[in-house]
Structure 1
Amino acid sequence: MSKKILLGAICTVLFCGTSATVFAQDNAPSGAASSLLNSADPRAAGMGMATTAVNDNPFGIFGNAASNLLSEKRMGFGYSYNPVMPDYNKGVATHAVGGYFNLDENNGFSLGFRYFNGPKSIIAGDDAVAGDSFRPNDMAVSIGYTRRIVDNFTMSLTARYIRSDYTKFGSDYYKAGNAFTFDLGFYYENTIESFYGSTWAVGLNVSNVGTKLDISVPSNPIAMPAYAKLGGSIDMPFSENHKLLAALDLGYTFMPSTDASFTAGLGLEYNFLKHGFLRAGYHYGDEKSIGGSYATVGLGAAVGPVRVDASYWIAGKESPVKNTWAVGLSLFF
């Protein structure tokens, strides 16, 4: 089997994971396992990816686990499904499961699992004859602990294990790779009684700081894209049955340093009758952020403990994320 063909195929897979994963986290082009470094949150996706200062979120461990402890509900769990580059790749998707459980007012835990099923590819042999097909995959398991520091201020630490399996490319050239990373999050919220009893919040999350991922033979570790996000939000209840949430995120990818990039997300969520949600947002990405800039819209419905969310990306004709969509199902108790 030709090593040159193998290298080309694996670069294609990495590109798909980096540039077209729906819940793009502003990843640098050369970052490893970029398909898994996403918010995995269809609610946030409908709000331009603004999630750092938003709570009541079972997918909070992917955005800022510190926000979970101040959620209205004691526990929440969710599943999301995200097709990747649906206009170009059929059957390629990211699956995510997230949840949180608050033991008491001062302590809480979060869990997360993500799985990316890569594009099916055909590898030609040395004689240029089509060979076996394969689907590489990435997986990440996360666990976080959140602690209340003082009233309305929380801090979280998240540990993450990441595994990328490319062994079917050929054991002479590639191997399954493993990495360990950590997130550090902070969240603060307070009430503005003079403004309809609105709640404002700020959050900070530093994510994916850890080891490199090594999937090649001979060894050539690839840096994980580490980033920091600062966010703010205000939740305005104009009446018992109508609320408006506005959120803003500013992000900076600082590792690898050669691919540093800046992003921003701005989003709105209108909650009517406590059962329906309308969302819209805009995500900005500079020239080094492969996901680029795009608008998003979203819908949600809640009945009892069940909430269903959906979001859709509105991007330019040449954008790899055009026509991307995501759906999620959440339970709160």
Structure 2
Amino acid sequence: MNFSRKKAVFAALAAGVFSLPAKAQISSFRDSLLGQINTITTAVPFLQIAPDSRAGGMGDYGVATSPDANSIHWNAAKLAFVEKNVGFSISYTPWLRALVNDINLAYISGYKKLKDDQAIAGSLRYFSLGNIDFTNDNAEKLGSFNPNEWALDFAYSRKLGENFSGGLALRYIYSNLTGGIAIQNNTIQTRPGRSVAADVSGYYNKKIDLSNKDAILAFGLNISNIGAKISYTDTKAKDFIPMNFRLGSNLKVDLDSYNTISFGVDINKLLVPTPPVYWKNSIGSDSLDAAGNKVIRAGKDPSNISPAQAIFSSWSDAPAGFEEELKEFTYSIGAEYWYDKQFAIRAGYFHEAATKGNRKYFTIGAGLRYNVFGLDFAYLIPTTQRNPLENTLRFTLIFDFEGLKKEAAEE
């Protein structure tokens, strides 16, 4: 063996030997990251709350369920397949009822079919955070304010084929959390946050035969809240709104002329940056570079990422890699049973990884339909941490305008 070949062999062996501890350290570091809590936070999280009691009774699952007046939130594309020409609903959700009595979410939504293959819809979502007293650093009262947030939506849905439809929703978002109060010793003036966003959705359903029973298999996709970052001050600091990817399926089976059952699953993932892990100094604080910026140890810097870039980079930016990305998916499983299209019972389960928020809960619900009016109820049962909806009953009131016309005609 000549000298140059010996050098190559020695270099290869040395690289293999010394890389073993390095690989072990990297693996150990990634394992430690997987065990750390690294939740993704956004501005205006009220946009992610299930607004209606039907979906709320099925584990917050609804992207591929049969269309109704609340479809604009879950998947506007479904409205092209809605059976009735007009629908309207009002929903009310108490929030943190075990602690306070003045925080709630109100939701109004409705649709109108233009033709057999087209529909338009609109909704208003209002989130009140109750009355809050503001104080300065010396605990002196500065005043009181009722923070509130709302979003106004308009949607259009159209069939693109016999079994497929597409939908587009536009959204204006307003968030006033401070009432214009100044912060940091009156050096920074706050203001309401404003943003605009859009949803792009698709829906597919097909009638099938399942063991000699009529059934409908459906799939839904909704990429929601695609929009600009939001800010509450005149500084450069801006926060992402909750851009979200939702994919799901639903199977509805007519057991006989009176009994119908459906069940399915939704998968969700936020399309915003995952917080990176920063280097720490000897006292446990974040290490800073010469410019005063935190030094990233793992992950990607989210500060210079645009919303358009985040939609794509959010699939591969977790500090612990692919395993952590998988933990960022949440899962909703739900089922619904109808008797004679007049009485329904529902159940569902929602799962989120412990290091990404640890929301895990069962839900139950019921529905009633009688001529012009209908009522839906939902109740949440947490299995891990306490939940803002724990021990609260939320409800949705549904109006059937065609039923009203029919009732008037009979008189």
- State the TM bucket, normalised to the shorter chain: 0.7 to 0.9
Partners of 2:360 and 2:384 within 8 A in 1:
no
| Distance in 2 separating the partners of 1:327 and 1:46 | 10
What SS does the aligned partner of 1:255 have? coil
What SS does the aligned partner of 1:57 have? coil
Residue 257 of structure 2 corresponds to which residue in structure 1? 240
Residue 58 of structure 1: CA displacement?
0.7
What SS does the aligned partner of 1:36 have? helix
From 223, 228, 232, the counterpart of 1:215? 232
Residue 90 of structure 1: CA displacement?
1.6
| Distance in 1 separating the partners of 2:223 and 2:190 | 30
Q: Could you give the per-residue CA deviations for residues 240-282 of structure 1, whole angstroms, max 9, x where no partner exists?
A: 1111011211111121343872111111111012211100110
Alignment of structure 1 residues 148-297 onto 2, 5 Å: 148-168=159-179, 170-171=181-182, 172-195=188-211, 196-258=213-275, 261-287=328-354, 289-290=356-357, 292-297=359-364
What SS does the aligned partner of 2:189 have? coil
Q: Could you give the per-residue CA deviations for residues 55-113 of structure 1, whole angstroms, max 9, x where no partner exists?
A: 23211111001111112222211010001111122210010011111111221111111
> Which structure has greater helix proportion?
2
Q: CA RMSD in A?
A: 1.8
Residue 123 of structure 1 corresponds to which residue in structure 2? 134
Q: Which moved more, 1:149-158 or 1:68-77?
A: 68-77
What SS does the aligned partner of 2:238 have? coil
Q: Which moved more, 1:114-123 or 1:126-135?
A: 126-135
Partners of 1:115 and 1:139 within 8 A in 2:
yes
Partners of 2:179 and 2:192 within 8 A in 1:
no
Partners of 2:70 and 2:89 within 8 A in 1:
yes
> 1:224 and 1:168, CA in 2 relative to 1: closer, same or farther beyond 3 A?
same
Partners of 1:123 and 1:130 within 8 A in 2:
yes
Q: Normalised by the size of structure 2, how large is the TM-score?
A: 0.71
Partners of 2:359 and 2:385 within 8 A in 1:
no
- AA partner of residue 325 (structure 1): L
What SS does the aligned partner of 2:335 have? strand
> 1:288 and 1:306, CA in 2 relative to 1: closer, same or farther beyond 3 A?
farther
> 1:291 and 1:306, CA in 2 relative to 1: closer, same or farther beyond 3 A?
farther
Alignment of structure 1 residues 33-112 onto 2, 5 Å: 33-112=44-123
> 1:288 and 1:65, CA in 2 relative to 1: closer, same or farther beyond 3 A?
farther
- AA partner of residue 339 (structure 2): F
| Distance in 2 separating the partners of 1:186 and 1:313 | 29
Alignment identity in percent?
A: 26
Residue 9 of structure 1 corresponds to which residue in structure 2? none
Partners of 1:263 and 1:289 within 8 A in 2:
no
Unaligned runs of 5+ in 1: 1-27
What SS does the aligned partner of 1:197 have? strand
Structure 1 or 2, whichever has the larger Rg, is 2
Residue 317 of structure 1: CA displacement?
6.4
- AA partner of residue 347 (structure 2): A
Residue 310 of structure 1 corresponds to which residue in structure 2? 377
Partners of 1:36 and 1:115 within 8 A in 2:
no
Partners of 1:66 and 1:185 within 8 A in 2:
yes
| Distance in 2 separating the partners of 1:330 and 1:160 | 23
> 1:193 and 1:317, CA in 2 relative to 1: closer, same or farther beyond 3 A?
closer
Unaligned runs of 5+ in 2: 1-38, 183-187, 276-317, 319-324, 403-411
| Distance in 2 separating the partners of 1:292 and 1:317 | 7
What SS does the aligned partner of 1:61 have? helix
Residue 331 of structure 1: CA displacement?
1.6
> 1:246 and 1:161, CA in 2 relative to 1: closer, same or farther beyond 3 A?
same
Q: Which moved more, 1:124-133 or 1:215-224?
A: 124-133
| Distance in 2 separating the partners of 1:31 and 1:317 | 22
Partners of 2:40 and 2:273 within 8 A in 1:
no
| Distance in 1 separating the partners of 2:166 and 2:102 | 38
1:328 aligns with 2:345: no
Partners of 1:59 and 1:98 within 8 A in 2:
yes
Partners of 1:224 and 1:256 within 8 A in 2:
no
Q: Normalised by the size of structure 1, how large is the TM-score?
A: 0.87
